Structure 1
Amino acid sequence: MKTGGYERDPVLERLPGLSSCGDAHDPAAASFALLSFNRFIRSFPLVGFLLSLLCLYTWMSLVYFLLRSMGGSSMIFKNRSFTSKHHRAGKSSRSSRKVREGHKKAKMQKESACPPPKRRVLCFHMVSLIVGREQRMFVAHEDVLSRSPFFNVVLKDQFVGDNPERVLGLPEEEPELLSCILEFLYKGDYYPRLIHNKAQDAWELEDAKQDFSIPDGSRSSSSEATFFHPGTGGLILRDTAVYCAAEKYGLGELKHLALRKQGLQSGIPIDVILRSARYVYDNTPDSEYRLRAHYLAMIIRTRDIFKDSGTMQFEMEMGHPIFFDLFVAMCNHLDDLEEMSMNH
C-alpha cells in the first residue's frame, strides 16, 4: 500500500508507538515520540532528576572551560579591579603580595648596607681661661662665653673643630674683673648686686652702709667700692673698671649696670676718683662719653673740695687729657650759669 510516494510496513503499523525510518520527518510521529518520552519521565521521576543534574553539570563544565580559556576565572571574578580610568585592571593579589615582599626585602637589604645615622648629642664644651700675670684659671661654658662678641670671635678663630683642649690665655686681664664678667654672663649681675629697697622705693647696693658724713644721710657706700689695680698702682673704683671691661668685651647691658652702680657710691677719696678718671680715659675710645661725662660732672659739682686738694694740683701739673675736657666742661657750666642769671 503506497501513500505519499512510499510504502508503509504493515507490521510496524500494527505496533503502537513504532514506525519505520521513512517516518522520521513526519510531524505526527515526532509529536508522538515526545509524548512517549514525557510519559516515560512521569513514570520514572528519579531518572528525570538525574538527567537534569547531568545536563547542569555539563553546562557548568562548558562555562568553566570557556572562562579558563579567556584568562582565568580568578582574575575576572576576584582580582579584577579598576583603580582609575587610566588603568584597566589591577594586579592580582598574589602578584601584589610578591611585589610588596620584594620591595620590603630590598628595603631591608638597603638599610643593612647603609649604617644608621648618628644621633646628635648636645655637647657643652668647657673653656679654660688663664688670666693675669699670676695665671689664675677660670672655667666657663663655651656657649656662655659666646654671648660676648669679643669671646665669640676669639673662640671661632682659635677653636676649630672638636678640639678637646680648649684653653684661652688672657695675660693682660685682671682676674677680679674677669670674675665680674663671668658672674654677669651667668647671673645677669655682679657683686655687689643692685637691689630695690621697697620701703624707700629706691635702688641700693648689696651690703651697703649708710654714709653719715653727708648731711642728709641719704647716700650709701659699699665696702666693695674699690679694688687694687696693678696697672694703675693704686685703688680705683670697681664699677669703673667693670665698665671699661664691658666696653672691651662688647657688653652694653653691663656698661649700663656699672654706670648705675657707680652713681650710688659715695665717700670716695679724691685720689681714687682722679685715678679712676685717668683709667677711664686710658681704657676707653674717644667716642665714649658717658662715663667720662660722669666724672667731669662729679668734679664740677664738688669743685669746692677739689680746688683745695693737693692731689688735684699734682695731677694737673702732670697733665692729662682729662683736664682739658674738665676745663671745657667748667667753661660751659659757667656759661650756663650766666645765661640763667640773665634770664632771671
Structure 2
Amino acid sequence: MFSKHHTHGRSDSFNARYRAGKSTGRSMKRSFQDHLGDSRRTERETRPEGVPNARTLTSPVITICVGPEKRLFAAHEEILCMSPVFADVCRGQFFESPDTHSKTISLPEEQPEVFSCVLEYLYKGDYYPRLLHNRRRNTWELENEANDMDVDGTEKGDATIVDQATGNVILKDTAVYCAAERYSLSGLKRLALRKQGLQSGIQCSTILASARYAYAHTPDTDSKLRAHYLALIIRCRSTFKRSGTMQMEMEQGGKLFFDLFVAMCNYIDDLTDACKSPRSA
C-alpha cells in the first residue's frame, strides 16, 4: 500500500535545483516546533504534529504490524491520522467495520527502527536524539552530541541503521526523511534533514549507501535530501577521491553519479565566475 517512489528521467530544472553550495539554511532563534508551526497550515492536520490533546489520547488504539518480522506497535487513532496517508487508510479500513478488534495496519516493507522514530515524532514532535537549541551560541545541536562518536572515531549506532533490503549501513535520518515522504509529514522531513546536517565523522561507505537509499526512496522533484548529498560529496571531495568505495560506486553508475557530475560542473562554473568577476573597491 505504501509503495516506494520510482522515478525516471531528468527534471528540466535540475541545474537550478542542484547548484552545489547555494542552499544554506537560515538560523532559527525559536524552538524547532514553533518554526514548523508556520508552515504546517498547508498540511492536513489541524494542530501541530507531535502535540497530543485530551481528545487524541482517548481515541481508539490502532495496532501497526511492521516489517517482515511483524513487530507490533500501538498508537492512538488521531495521533496516527495526523499523517494524511494513515488518515486515508484508517477511513478505508475501519470506519465501515463495526469490529473494533480489526483495527490493524500492516506495513511489511517498513523498518521497525524507522517507524519507531515516526511514531515518536507524532507523539512528541521529535525523535531520539532530540534536536536542541543552544541559546548561548544560538546554534542547533543533537542531544548528547558529545557522545555521538565511539572512541575509535566511527559513527555511533544512534546515527545509523542497517537497511533491511540491502544490508547496507545508512544514516537513520535519511531513512526517517524518506519515511516522512511516504507518510506526507513535511515537518518530519525538515526535522530529519536538519538533524542529518549536524552529523559528522560519517564513513564514506555510509554516506554513499545513504545517498543511494535517498535516490531510491525520493522522487526526482525532491531537491532537498538529494542536494544535501551532492553538496556533501563535493565538500569532502578530497576524501572521496582517495576512497576505494567511491571508485567502486562510480563504476556501478546510476543517476546519483550523473547528478553529482552536473553538480560538480555547476560548482566549478561558480568558482570560475567568481574569479572572473571584478573585485569591488
Pairwise TM-score range, normalised by the shorter structure: 0.7 to 0.9
| Counterpart among 291, 297, 306 of residue 225 in structure 2 | 291
Q: Aligned-pair distance for 1:203?
A: 1.1
> AA paired with 1:329?
A
Could you say which residue in structure 2 is the equivalent of 1:129? 64
Distance in 2 between residues matched to 1:133 and 1:161, nearest whole Å: 26
> For the Cα contact (< 8 Å) 2:234–2:264, is it kept in 1?
yes
> For the Cα contact (< 8 Å) 2:58–2:76, is it kept in 1?
no
What percentage of aligned pairs have identical amino acids?
55
The one-character-per-residue Cα deviations of 1:46-82 (angstroms, maximum 9, x if unpaired) are xxxxxxxxxxxxxxxxxxxxxxxxxxxxxxxxxxxxx
> AA paired with 2:168?
G
Question: Residue 223 and residue 205 in structure 1: after superposition, are their counterparts in 2 closer, same or farther (change >3 A)?
Answer: farther
Higher relative helix content: 1
| Counterpart among 163, 166, 173 of residue 99 in structure 2 | 163
Could you say which residue in structure 1 is the equivalent of 2:33? none
| 2:121 pairs with 1:187 | no
> AA paired with 2:199?
Q
Q: Aligned-pair distance for 1:335?
A: 0.8
Could you say which residue in structure 1 is the equivalent of 2:145? 208
Question: Residue 236 and residue 288 in structure 1: after superposition, are their counterparts in 2 closer, same or farther (change >3 A)?
Answer: same
5 Å matches for 1:4-43? none
RMSD: 1.7
Distance in 1 between residues matched to 2:135 and 2:276, nearest whole Å: 43
> For the Cα contact (< 8 Å) 2:148–2:158, is it kept in 1?
no
> AA paired with 2:98?
D
Ranges in structure 1 where 5+ consecutive residues have no aligned partner: 1-121, 213-220
Distance in 2 between residues matched to 1:304 and 1:123, nearest whole Å: 55
| 2:181 pairs with 1:241 | no
| 2:166 pairs with 1:232 | yes
3-state SS in 1 of match to 2:105: strand
Distance in 1 between residues matched to 2:77 and 2:260, nearest whole Å: 42
| Counterpart among 178, 183, 191 of residue 115 in structure 2 | 178
Could you say which residue in structure 2 is the equivalent of 1:339? 273
> For the Cα contact (< 8 Å) 2:65–2:71, is it kept in 1?
yes
Question: Residue 195 and residue 143 in structure 1: after superposition, are their counterparts in 2 closer, same or farther (change >3 A)?
Answer: same
The one-character-per-residue Cα deviations of 1:160-211 (angstroms, maximum 9, x if unpaired) are 2432121111111101111001100000000000011233322110111278
Q: Aligned-pair distance for 1:225?
A: 1.0
3-state SS in 1 of match to 2:256: helix
> For the Cα contact (< 8 Å) 1:232–1:279, is it kept in 2?
no
TM-score scaled by length of structure 2: 0.73
Distance in 1 between residues matched to 2:197 and 2:209, nearest whole Å: 17
Distance in 2 between residues matched to 1:128 and 1:263, nearest whole Å: 33
Distance in 2 between residues matched to 1:201 and 1:253, nearest whole Å: 21
The one-character-per-residue Cα deviations of 1:266-304 (angstroms, maximum 9, x if unpaired) are 000000000000000000111111000000001111111
5 Å matches for 1:84-163? 124-159=59-94, 160-163=96-99
> AA paired with 1:163?
D
TM-score scaled by length of structure 1: 0.60
Question: How many positions carry a matched residue from both structures?
Answer: 215
Q: Aligned-pair distance for 1:249?
A: 0.2
Could you say which residue in structure 2 is the equivalent of 1:108? none
5 Å matches for 1:261-300? 261-300=195-234
Ranges in structure 2 where 5+ consecutive residues have no aligned partner: 1-56, 150-154
Q: Aligned-pair distance for 1:123?
A: 6.2
